[in-house]
Amino acid sequence: MLTFAVVPRRLIAGAMLSLCVALPASADEFATKPEAEAMVKKTIAFMKANGKDKTYSEINRKDGPFTDRDLYMVAYGFDGVVRAHGANPKMLNKNLMELNDIDGKAFVKERVEMAKKNPSFWQEYKFTNPVSGKIEPKAMYCQPTEDVIVCGGVYLR
């Protein structure tokens, strides 16, 4: 009787361990480039329908419709001032034109210049991932609309 109780526990423990080891991290854990593009388009459509102030308010809500896992929206003016930021409210109303990434890349300045020349674009730089807390390579999809650049990015793995 003791053997009967011990064997099933071992089998269950072994089966559970093999499941944990065999299953990779879910791809759904992180946002993808197509999801970032779709979220930027969704944000711009919302902005056109509801105005900038309401859109900025929604972007700034971490539990709002413009935040999904490690994907969040950011809106910049062409002057480099942050109008909305889905991950860091401390950035609001700050001019980040001279902000450099860890490699010295003035990515906001570059982003503004790219927005003046392109209807939409991808840009790569390094930034702190709000989920991991680590500086990671990031690709940001941006689309200018009127006097605002709406961006959402994915961390590259």
Extents of the domains making up the chain: 28-155
User: For the structural domain made of 28-155, what CATH number should be given?
Assistant: 3.30.450.20
**Pair type for strands 71-77 and 135-145:** unpaired
pLDDT of residue 27: 53
Helix, coil or strand: residue 95: strand
Confidence class of residue 25 from pLDDT cuts 50, 70 and 90? very low
Helix (H) or strand (E) holding 41: helix 33-50
* Torsion angle defined by CA atoms of residues 62, 63, 66 and 70, in that order, rounded to the nearest 10 degrees: 60
Euclidean distance between CA atoms 136 and 49, whole angstroms: 34
Confidence class of residue 157 from pLDDT cuts 50, 70 and 90? confident
Instruction: Please compute, for residue 112, the number of CA atoms within 13 A of its CA located in the half-sphere on the CB side.
Output: 16
Separation in Å, CA 109 to CA 81, 104, 137, 144, 145: 11, 12, 18, 14, 17
Residue 17 vs residue 130, higher pLDDT: 130
- Percentage of the residues of the chain whose pLDDT score is greater than 70: 83
Burial of 109 (0-12, 13-18, 19+ CB in 10 A): middle
Q: Per the structure block, which two tokens stand in for 70? A: 């490690």
Asked if residues 73 and 84 have their Cβ atoms less than 8 Å apart, the reply is yes
From 61-70, 71-80, 143-152, the region with the lowest mean pLDDT: 61-70
The residues facing 110 across adjacent strands are none
Q: Per the structure block, which two tokens stand in for 115? A: 């927005």
Euclidean distance between CA atoms 131 and 140, whole angstroms: 16
> What pTM value is reported for the model?
0.80
